[in-house]
Structure 1
Amino acid sequence: MPSEIDSSTLLSRASQLIDLALKAGADAADAVIVRSRSQSVSVRLGKVESTESSESDDFSLRVFIGRRVASVSANPGFDLGMLAERAVAMAKVSPEDPYACLADEARLGKSYPDLQLFDPTEVSSEHLREAALAAEAAALDVKGVTNSAGGGASAGMGGLVLATSHGFAGSYMGSRFGCSVSVIAGEGTRMERDYDFDSRLYFADLDDPAEIGRRAGERAVKRLSPRQVDTGKNVTVVFDPRVARGFVGHIAGAINGAAVARKTSFLRDKMGQQVLKSGLTVTDDPLIVKGPSSRPFDGEGVIGEKLSMIEDGVLQHWFLSTSTAREIGMETNGRGVRGGNSVSPASTNLALEPGDVSPAALISGVGTGLYVTELIGQGVNMITGEYSRGASGFWIENGELTFPVSEVTIASNLKEMFMRMTPANDIDRKYGVASPTLAIEGMTLAGR
């Protein structure tokens, strides 16, 4: 990756594109350039399977004529004037959208913080190859591991350049480094697979590849000789942090303003009401220095702030972009994300804040239950809250993990699950969604 990124040329082109759109007849416009650079290496059984490298600068222009809006996209090298004229022509024949608009000028960031999201470290493809091979070799060295599903390492950067017709111009870049491996333990019909990975903004923070491999191998071996357990009701299920992060993602989806506007969230009428167990808090903070999902401004030029989305179990905020906020009679809170030519709300650095007991103490207090390390399927209905997913993990007996379990299904309703959660104190904030180990009481387990 290049050690320095100069966005001034891209910002100049974005501003020029807006000027041309206004001259072509647009009332307002914004231009976005999404820049990305990446390289990756994948290996299997000690041999390189692929080496990939990519670069792109994707341009998007959005124009407004009254309540009509249109967007066009292009790659570098296009004719700016023709793109602007095309967008305006499209807007003139588009249906009216009463909610589409630029963010309020008063909400635009006049200056924004340096969140230290970019690491200029240059990593060669040779180094990536060595890291991927080291992770795989360490995993294969674990006794009981019999095969590899492959390993990989990557380095990349991406960023956003945004200019608007009402005065905003800004850009930021972020880097990302990663390493992963997946291996198989056992033989024949008694094989089990597992994986491990790490992903960081700064190369120096990345876990040692051999450690990643060792963890992957040990996880796979621990899953050997799984059993089924009896069907039961009122079972306490403990979610490993890796699985719990996905569960916290369901909370984020339920309090997304776009889902509220579409009436596709089971929490759409719960603002100001208790939706989680008392004492639980969910935060979202886009301005964490070196945060995994930080951004100095959102996809509309609005600077967000740290919010307690849910505080002491009570719902306080939706995730909102400008158009979504207008649709439900509120104001944006700087959570707009560009997705192609559209803007939609999403979380940033989201965390279910930890409790005050250790994972060991949490499991010990369960007595008998299921510790889940992997979930299968997509059986979650965000309209009704119904939850049913295949699971595997370990049986908890007398407060300790005993034998591996597979081919079971856990089920409940998210409304009830949210009110029965108990978090441990082991949160890891290196991912964009952070969660500690979670115990959820009163679930149904379908087994043998």
Structure 2
Amino acid sequence: MSDSPDLETLTQALIQAASQAGADQSDAIAVRGQSVSIDVRKGGLELAERAEATEIGLRVLIGGRQASVSASDHSDITIREMAARAVAMAREAPVDDMLGLADPDQLAETRDGAALQMTDPAPDPSPDALQAMALRAEAAAAAQPGITQVESAAAAFSRRQMWLAASNGFSGGYTRSGHSVSAVAITGQGTGMERDYAGESRVWASDLPDPEQIGLLAAQRTLARIGSRKPPTGAFPILYDRRVAPTLIAHLLAAVNGNAVVRGASWLRDALDEPVLPADLTVTENPLRPRYPSSRPFDAEGLPCLPREIVAGGVLTGWTLDLATGRKLGMDSTASATRGLTSAPSPGHSNVSLTQGDASFDDLLADMGTGLVVTSMLGASINATTGDYSRGAAGFWVENGKIAYPVNECTIAGNLRDMLMTITAGNDAEDWRPVQVPSLLVRGMTVAGA
């Protein structure tokens, strides 16, 4: 990779080619990535994968029209062809007068990720080291009585460099690393088989739990599912375990996304400055948290990222906006633009957290009395406009404030607007998560089981 072209040089070449091809404005991204993943099974190597590539993307704007192209080849002729193709595509695109780059005085002054510690300074782990970690996780899971097999255990590493440049003068980039370990354990046979998993990922390897902890947790979660059956049908409180509670806040984040609001396809489209959560809860976003996986010093349009409150004291305080959606709504961008190599900027979130409460998980169980603890979900039917919500779920049935037995093959349903206004937050949010949310008790949902 050291022989590959400099990413900044590639983006500047793309900007220059776009100008020569007739673009009014342009921005370019160059990404260089490498990754290694190792899967083991039954004490031996099951799969080893390595990927390494440098890719480039270009967006051009001409009179309110835009188009994006990308390539994995970065020769001079490819760059010129990309620019010509993008300009030709843009001239055929529909007009959107709100499109355009940031003004130079809006651009971030910090243009690297050094302060955010986004890349692990330790040497990259070797494939042998990753295999050893995966084997340790597998062995810890397999050693638990009742585990019939470990379906898979894996360890992976990645390092990704990104550079963004634009014709408004912005030029900046950073490197991000990632380390992960996971395991999937199985108990039982045939129709009585149950499985569960555990996995962790970090920017720095030194922040990862020991592989043995991950393997043990996968086994414990699997063994707890022995004897699963359907729960009763009816209206009950539901306790979203901290493993799945972030999905509820993710639905709220999707509803405050500027793209959804502009289209009128948000169940919160009329809720600005109104309560959307109980008054003791606040949702914050902080893209500047050191060593977190989605931290970033600037967004995909070169604007400086800053902490902000999305919901303050239960009240929705604003939308999540990039430049275009902000202009359409008559508001400033929240520096939330994200983009890929072939896509235009669109709003997104990074490092979101919900206020923690005072109640422990056991306190929430006692509070719910009889109901359902949800630990995993599959499938989804979410009406983005009305907030009507229905999902398949599995977890544990609770009676008299205590877990009675594991359950599966049930459906939970409600309306997100009503659900979020009734939640009680626990005090057990897990650290290092991109959406950091404790267990959440939701009142009055419908469970469809036996």
Tell me which interval the TM-score lies in, with the shorter structure as reference length.
over 0.9
**Mapped pair 1:231 → 2:233:** yes
| CA distance in 1: counterparts of 2:60 and 2:382, whole angstroms | 37
The Cα offsets for residues 206-255 of structure 1, whole Å up to 9 and x where unpaired, read as 1111110011011101100123232121x111111111122221111111
C-alpha deviations, 1:314-367, integer Å up to 9, x for none? 101211111121222222111000123311101100112211222221222222
- In structure 1, what is the Cα distance between the partners aligned to 2:306 and 2:3? 27
Q: 1:32 aligns with which of 23, 29, 33?
A: 29
Superposition pairs for residues 155-304 of structure 1, below 5 Å?
A: 155-233=157-235, 235-304=236-305
1:19 is aligned to 16
Distance 1:167 1:351 in 2: 33
Alignment partners' CA distance in 2, 1:66 and 1:391? 49
Within 1, Cα distance between the matches of 2:318 and 2:175?
Answer: 28
Q: Which residue of 2 aligns with 1:93?
A: 92
Q: Residues 56 and 74 of structure 2 are in contact (CA less than 8 Å); yes or no, is this contact kept in structure 1?
A: no
Match of 2:379 in 1: 377
Which residue in the other structure is 1:334 paired with?
Answer: 335
Alignment-mate amino acid for residue 283 of structure 2: V
Q: Retained in 2: the 8 A contact 1:236–1:439?
A: yes
Structure 2 CA distance for aligned equivalents of residues 106 and 8 of structure 1: 30
**What SS class does the counterpart of residue 116 from structure 2 fall into?**
coil
Q: Does 1:58 align with 2:49?
A: no
CA contact (8 A) 2:311 2:317 kept: yes
Residues 93 and 398 (structure 1), Cα distance of their counterparts in 2 relative to 1, 3 Å cut: closer
Displacement over 4 Å in runs of 4+: 5-8
Q: Is the 8 A contact 1:73 1:341 kept in 2?
A: no
Change (3 A) 1:116 1:7: farther
What is the CA–CA distance in structure 2 between the aligned matches of 1:444 and 1:95, rounded to whole Å?
A: 44
Question: Whole-Å Cα distance in 2 between the matches of residues 212 and 347 of structure 1?
Answer: 27
Q: CA deviation at 1:19?
A: 1.9
Stretch moving more, 110-119 or 301-310: 110-119
SS at match of 2:418: helix
Q: 2:46 is aligned with what amino acid?
A: E
Q: CA deviation at 1:16?
A: 2.3
Q: Which amino acid aligns with 1:387?
A: Y
50-59 vs 195-204, which moves further = 50-59
Q: Taking structure 1 as reference, are residues 407 and 132 closer, same or farther at Cα in structure 2, changes over 3 Å only?
A: same
User: Identity over the aligned pairs, expressed in percent?
Assistant: 42
SS in 1 for 2:133: helix
Q: Is the 8 Å Cα contact of residues 135 and 209 (structure 1) preserved in structure 2?
A: yes
Q: Contact 1:110 / 1:168 at 8 angstroms: preserved in 2? A: no
Q: Following the alignment from structure 2 to structure 1, what is the Cα–Cα distance between the partners of residues 333 and 294?
A: 19
* Corresponding residue for residue 40 of structure 2: 43
Aligned to 1:116: 117
What is the one-letter code of the residue matched to 1:115?
L
1:279 is displaced (CA, Å) by: 1.3
Give the alignment of 1:127-142 within 5 angstroms: 127-142=129-144
> How far is the alpha carbon of 1:416 from its aligned partner?
0.6
Distance (Å, rounded) in 2 between the aligned partners of 1:189 and 1:60: 49
Deviations 1:183-226 (A, max 9, x none): 11112221111000010000011111111001101110110012
Q: Deviations over 1:110-168 (max 9, x none)?
A: 22462110003310001111111111111111111112221111000123201111111
User: Which residue is equivalent to 2:399?
Assistant: 397
Contact 1:64 1:101 in 2 (8 A): yes
Flag the 1:256–1:389 CA change in 2: closer, same or farther, 3 A: same
Would you say the 8 A contact 2:110–2:304 is kept in 1? no
1-structure distance, mates of 2:199, 2:221: 12
2: distance between equivalents of 1:231 and 1:81?
Answer: 63
Residues 411 and 448 of structure 2 are in contact (CA less than 8 Å); yes or no, is this contact kept in structure 1? yes
- The structural deviation recorded for 1:8 is 8.7
Unmatched tracts of structure 2, length 5 or more:
none
TM-score (norm 2): 0.95
Cα pair 2:119 2:204 within 8 Å, conserved: yes
**Structure 1: runs of 5 or more not aligned:** none
Cα deviation 1:406-425 (Å, max 9, x = unaligned): 22221111011010111011
Contact 2:18/2:83 (<8 A) preserved: yes
Provide closer, same or farther for how the CA distance between residues 85 and 377 of structure 1 changes in structure 2, counting only shifts above 3 A: closer
Q: Partner residue of 1:423?
A: 425
Residue 17 of structure 2 aligns to which amino acid in structure 1? L
Structure 1 distance, partners of 2:329, 2:354, is 26
Number of matched pairs = 444
Question: In structure 1, the residue corresponding to 2:382 is in which secondary structure?
Answer: coil
